[in-house]
Structure 1
Amino acid sequence: MSEQNARLGILLMIATTLVFSVQDGISRHLASEYNIGMIVMIRYWFFAAFVITIATRSSGGLRAAIRTKQPWLQTFRGLLLVSEVCIMILAFVYLGLVESHAVFTCYPLLIAALSGPVLGEKVGWRRWMAIGVGFIGVLIILRPGYAVFSPYAAIPLLAATMFALYGLLTRYAARLDTAATSFFWTGVTGSVAMTLGGIWFWEPMTGPDWGWMAVLCLTGVSGHWLLIKAYDVAEASTVQPFAFLQLVFAGAIGLFIFHETLELHVILGAALIVSAGIFTLWREQQAKRRETRHKIARVRP
Structure 2
Amino acid sequence: MLLVPLMDGTAKILVADYPVAQVVWGRYAFNLLTLLPLFLLLRQRLRFSRTRFSLQLSRALFLLGDTALFFAALFFIPLANGKAVFFASPLIMTALAPLMLGERVGRHRWAAVLIGFTGTLFILKPEASGLSIGYALALGSAFLYALYLLMTRKLSSSAPPLMSLLYTALFGTLIMSLFLPFHWVMPDGRGWALLVATGALGTISHFCIIKALEIGSASQLAPFSYAEIISATLFGLVVFGNFPDMATWTGISIVVASGLYILHRENRRQRPEQETSTST
Deviations 1:220-245 (A, max 9, x none): 3343456567x49x968998645422
**Structure 1 residues 264 and 20, CA, compared in 2 at 3 Å: closer, same or farther?**
same
For structure 1, which segment, 187-196 or 241-250, has the greater mean C-alpha deviation from structure 2 after superposition?
241-250
Matched, 1:29 2:29: no
User: Identity of paired residues, percent?
Assistant: 28
Of 160, 173, 183, which residue of structure 1 is paired with 2:142? Answer: 160
SS at match of 1:111: helix
SS at match of 1:123: coil
Corresponding residue for residue 203 of structure 1 = 185
State the 1:280 CA deviation: 1.4
State the 1:129 CA deviation: 1.2
Question: Matched residues in 2 for 1:161 and 1:183: separation?
Answer: 20
**Structure 1 residues 282 and 253, CA, compared in 2 at 3 Å: closer, same or farther?**
same
Deviations 1:89-145 (A, max 9, x none): 11111111121111101211111001112222211011111101110100111126x
Corresponding residue for residue 46 of structure 2 = 62
Q: For residues 39-188 of structure 1, what are the structure 2 equivalents within 5 Å?
A: 39-55=23-39, 61-63=45-47, 66-143=48-125, 150-188=132-170
Residues 90 and 222, structure 2, Cα contact 8 Å, conserved in 1: no
Query: How many corresponding residue pairs?
Result: 278
Larger radius of gyration: 1
- Return the letter of the residue paired with 2:117: F
SS at match of 1:93: coil
Of 265, 268, 273, which residue of structure 2 is paired with 1:291? Answer: 273
State the 1:253 CA deviation: 1.9
State the 1:57 CA deviation: 5.9
**Structure 1 residues 70 and 249, CA, compared in 2 at 3 Å: closer, same or farther?**
same
Corresponding residue for residue 248 of structure 1 = 230
Question: Matched residues in 1 for 2:164 and 2:272: separation?
Answer: 28
Residues 93 and 149, structure 2, Cα contact 8 Å, conserved in 1: yes
**Structure 1 residues 239 and 164, CA, compared in 2 at 3 Å: closer, same or farther?**
closer
- Return the letter of the residue paired with 1:191: T
Question: Matched residues in 2 for 1:103 and 1:290: separation?
Answer: 34
Question: Matched residues in 1 for 2:227 and 2:50: separation?
Answer: 34
The unaligned stretches of length 5 or more in structure 2 are none
- Return the letter of the residue paired with 1:25: G
**Structure 1 residues 268 and 197, CA, compared in 2 at 3 Å: closer, same or farther?**
same
Of 249, 257, 265, which residue of structure 2 is paired with 1:267? Answer: 249
RMSD of equivalent CA atoms: 2.9
- Return the letter of the residue paired with 1:102: A
Residues 112 and 261, structure 2, Cα contact 8 Å, conserved in 1: yes
Corresponding residue for residue 196 of structure 2 = 214
The unaligned stretches of length 5 or more in structure 1 are 1-15
- Return the letter of the residue paired with 1:205: P
Residues 55 and 180, structure 1, Cα contact 8 Å, conserved in 2: yes
SS at match of 2:186: coil
TM-score (norm 1): 0.81
Question: Matched residues in 2 for 1:285 and 1:183: separation?
Answer: 28
Question: Matched residues in 2 for 1:51 and 1:100: separation?
Answer: 27
TM-score (norm 2): 0.87
Residues 38 and 199, structure 1, Cα contact 8 Å, conserved in 2: no
**Structure 1 residues 254 and 59, CA, compared in 2 at 3 Å: closer, same or farther?**
closer
State the 1:210 CA deviation: 2.3
SS at match of 1:94: coil
Question: Matched residues in 1 for 2:192 and 2:159: separation?
Answer: 37
Residues 108 and 164, structure 1, Cα contact 8 Å, conserved in 2: yes
Question: Matched residues in 2 for 1:140 and 1:286: separation?
Answer: 30
Residues 21 and 250, structure 1, Cα contact 8 Å, conserved in 2: yes
